[in-house]
Structure formats: C-alpha cells, structure tokens
C-alpha cells in the first residue's frame, strides 16, 4: 500500500516485471492481478514479515527460485510510532529497527553482490526528510531514516564505476495510511501532504541523474537547504513543530 503501491503501479506501467513484498497477502494478490491484467507484466507475490530477521534471506531465495534477475530493489516498507521514546513498547522499538534498518541493510547487502557482479543495477532506499535531524515525538523513526541516508551516501561513493547506483529519496509528508498506522494525527501536521506518486517521480528522476539523495517537493528542498542556515537546536524544534506529534 501507500508509496510502495505507487512504485509498483509506475514500474508496471513502464513494462517492468515485479516481485511485491509485504505481509498482507490478499492485498498483494489483488494488486498483482490488477496490474497483470492492465499492464501485461509478470508479477510474483512474496508474503513476508520484514520484522523477522530471516525474511530478507527468504526473499532473496524466492527471487533465485523464480530465476528473477533483479535489476532494481526498492526498500520502501517502513513504520513508526508517534509519541515519547520513554513510553515506546520494547516490542515496537525492535519492530521499527528490524523493518526500517535491518531489513533495508540485509536486502541491500543480499541483492548488491549480484548487481555488482553483473555491473548493472539500482537500489532506491525510501528515507525521509525526518532523517535529516532528530524529530521530537518521532525520535526512533528519524534515527532509522538517518541510518538509511548515511548508508546510501557511503554506498553511492563505494559503488562508483561499478554500474550500480543507489539513491535515497527523502519525502516530507505523504498522503498514505502511514500516519494512521503510527498513531500520528495527520490533521495536526503543520505542512501540506503530497501524493505518493510525487515520491515515485522524484526517485525515478534521481536515479536518472545519478543523485545520492533527492527531496521530492519544493517545500522539502527548501526545508533541507534552510537547515544550513539555522542552529541545530532550531532545526530540531522546527521539525517537531511541523510534525506536531505533541500539542
């Protein structure tokens, strides 16, 4: 669903065969069937829970079993929980780190070797504007997105000349179920929300331009750039103000 679904729709429209991964098998099957009918592409569904540390390995094996030559990996699945870190349930803390950090790192590591060997491939990591600084009320989430951004930056340089490129797309607020899923009252956000296809278009543009990271909207770009002119304390407070987790 959400941004991942928008990626699937756009890549199917462009004629790519896809492997879709998430926990909700029925939703994945329905989307796969719709896109097969509409776009005439091959779509496989791999139902996995990325909070299980073994799932990236199983996804990789699924692709090998299907003899899928994965040219593009989109690490998009992610979650958050709005509220004070001191009150975050331990189980949720682990789930967020496993999905946002561990699954992204493991899937990247697994698919990267083959891409480097073939001297061809791309990885899109879905980070966030929230990864540019700690966001009060979203501390763990913003830390996981910082991880994705710095890993992507390092890989982008390491992979120079290999034929493989890695991009971090860093959206601001996007109109998906993400806020409902994370207990974050979207009505209180102090910045407008964009649609998921804006993220997809930015990511495709970013890959074409071999960018390290890309911010999808003008507001995202202004906020990212203006950080350079403010003190860290102001940047963090403003991030908290815009996200408005607390009143």
Ligand X SMILES: NC(=O)c1ccc[n+]([C@@H]2O[C@H](COP(=O)([O-])OP(=O)(O)OC[C@H]3O[C@@H](n4cnc5c(N)ncnc54)[C@H](OP(=O)(O)O)[C@@H]3O)[C@@H](O)[C@H]2O)c1
Residue 78, class by beta-carbon neighbours within 10 Å (0-12 exposed, 13-18 middle, 19+ buried)?
buried
List the one residue out of 193, 57, 34 whose CA is nearest residue 129.
193
Does residue 132 interact with ligand X by CB under 6 A?
no
Is 141 known to be catalytic?
yes
Q: Whose Cβ is closer to ligand X: residue 99's or residue 155's?
A: 99
SS3 at position 18: strand
Q: Whose Cβ is closer to ligand X: residue 51's or residue 165's?
A: 51
List the one residue out of 126, 131, 116 whose CA is nearest residue 162.
116
Yes or no: say if 151 and 125 are a contact pair by the CB < 8 Å rule. Answer: yes
Does residue 185 interact with ligand X by CB under 6 A?
no
Does residue 140 interact with ligand X by CB under 6 A?
no
**Footprint of ligand X on residues 83-102 (CB under 6 A)?**
99
List the one residue out of 239, 123, 122, 244 whose CA is nearest residue 186.
244
Calpha distance 185→194 (Å, rounded):
16
Residue 40, class by beta-carbon neighbours within 10 Å (0-12 exposed, 13-18 middle, 19+ buried)?
exposed
Q: Whose Cβ is closer to ligand X: residue 90's or residue 233's?
A: 90
- Closest separation between CB of residue 61 and ligand X, Å? 16
Does residue 183 interact with ligand X by CB under 6 A?
no
- Residue 156, CA distances (Å) to 77, 104, 151, 203 in order: 21, 15, 9, 15
| Both tokens assigned to 171 | 């959206």
Residue 124 belongs to what H/E stretch?
Answer: strand 121-126
Q: Whose Cβ is closer to ligand X: residue 105's or residue 116's?
A: 105
Among 7, 60, 147, 173, binds ligand X (CB under 6 A): 173
Q: Whose Cβ is closer to ligand X: residue 116's or residue 236's?
A: 236
Does residue 4 interact with ligand X by CB under 6 A?
yes
Among 19, 77, 102, 132, binds ligand X (CB under 6 A): 77
Yes or no: say if 194 and 173 are a contact pair by the CB < 8 Å rule. Answer: yes
| Both tokens assigned to 130 | 């929230």
Residue 47 belongs to what H/E stretch?
Answer: strand 43-47
Does residue 8 interact with ligand X by CB under 6 A?
no
- Closest separation between CB of residue 113 and ligand X, Å? 22
Q: Whose Cβ is closer to ligand X: residue 58's or residue 119's?
A: 58
- Which one of the spans 49-57, 111-119, 225-233, 235-243 is the region binding ligand X (CB under 6 A)? 49-57
Exactly one of 60, 111, 141, 147 is catalytic; name it. 141
Does residue 76 interact with ligand X by CB under 6 A?
yes
Calpha distance 107→97 (Å, rounded):
14
Does residue 24 interact with ligand X by CB under 6 A?
yes
Contact residues for ligand X, defined by CB under 6 A: 1-4, 22-24, 49-51, 76-79, 99, 126, 128, 171, 173-174, 176-178, 181
Positions annotated as catalytic residues are 141
């Amino acid at each position: 669903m959400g941004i991942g679904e928008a990626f699937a729709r756009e890549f199917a429209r462009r004629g790519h065969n896809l492997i879709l991964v998430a926990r909700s098998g029925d939703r994945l099957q329905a989307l796969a069937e719709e896109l097969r009918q509409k776009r005439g592409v091959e779509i496989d569904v791999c139902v996995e829970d990325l909070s299980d540390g073994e799932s990236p390995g199983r996804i990789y094996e699924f692709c090998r079993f299907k003899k899928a030559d994965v040219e593009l990996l989109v690490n998009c699945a992610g979650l958050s929980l709005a509220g004070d870190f001191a009150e975050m349930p331990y189980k949720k803390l682990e789930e967020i780190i496993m999905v946002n950090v561990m699954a992204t790192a493991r899937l990247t590591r697994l698919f990267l070797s083959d891409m480097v060997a073939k001297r061809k491939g791309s990885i899109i990591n879905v980070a966030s504007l929230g990864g540019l600084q700690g966001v009060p009320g979203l501390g763990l989430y913003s830390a996981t997105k910082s991880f994705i951004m710095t890993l992507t930056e390092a890989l982008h340089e390491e992979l120079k000349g290999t034929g493989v490129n890695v991009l971090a797309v860093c959206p601001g607020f996007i109109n998906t179920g993400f806020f409902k899923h994370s207990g974050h009252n979207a009505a209180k956000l102090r910045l407008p929300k964009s649609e998921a296809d804006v993220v997809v278009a930015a990511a495709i543009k970013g890959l074409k331009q071999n960018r390290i990271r890309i911010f999808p909207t003008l507001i995202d770009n202004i906020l990212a750039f203006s950080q350079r002119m403010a003190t860290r304390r102001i940047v963090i407070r403003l991030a908290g103000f815009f996200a408005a987790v607390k009143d």
